[in-house]
Structure 1
Amino acid sequence: MAGQGEGRTLRRRRLLQSVMLGGCALPVAAGLLRPSAARAAQEAGSGGGTPTTGVNGDQGYEPAGSFEIVADFYGPGPSGVVVTDSGRIFVGFPRHAVNHKGATLGELVQGRVVPWPGADLSLPSAAAPADRLMSIHGMTMDTQGRVWAIDDGKLAGQPLQPGAAKLVCFDPQTNRLVHKIVLTAPALLPDSHMNDLRVDMTHGPAGTAYVTDSSFGHSPALVVVDIASGRQRRVLATHPSTQAEPGFMAVVEGVPLVYTPGKPLRFVVGGADGVTLSPNSDRLFYAPLTSRRLYSLPTALLADPTVSEAALAAAVKDEGEKGTADGLATDAQGRIYTTNFEQDCILRRNTDGSFDLMVHDPRILSPDGIFCTKTHVYCTLGQWNRLASFNGGQDKRKPPYHLIRFPIEPVPAYNTEQKI
Structure 2
Amino acid sequence: MPDNVDPCLCTHLIYAFAGMRSNKIATYAWDDVKLYHEFNALKNKNKNLKTLLSVGGWNFGTEKFTAMVSSAGSRQIFIKSAISFLRGYGFDGLDVDWEYPGSRGSPPRDKHLYTVLAQELMAAFEAEGKSTGKPRLLLSLAVAGGKSNIDTGYEVPQLGQIVDFFNVMTYDFFGPWNHTTGENSPLYALPNSKSTLNLEFNVNFAMKYWLKKGAPAEKLNVGFATYGHTFRLTSSAHGVGAPASGAGPAGPYTRQAGFLAYYEICSFLKTATVVWNTPQMVPYAYRGREWIGYDNVKSFQDKIAWMKKVNIGGAMVWDLALDDFSGAFCGQGAYPLINTLHSGLGVSTGCVPSRKPQKPPVPSGGGGGGSGFCAGKTNGTYPDPKDKSKFYECVNGRTYEESCASGLVFDTSCQCCNWP
Whether TM-score is above 0.5 comes out as no
Bigger fraction of residues in helix = 2
Which has the greater radius of gyration? 2
TM (normalized to structure 2)? 0.29
Higher relative contact order (CA 8 A, sep 6+): 2
Bigger fraction of residues in strand = 1
TM (normalized to structure 1)? 0.29
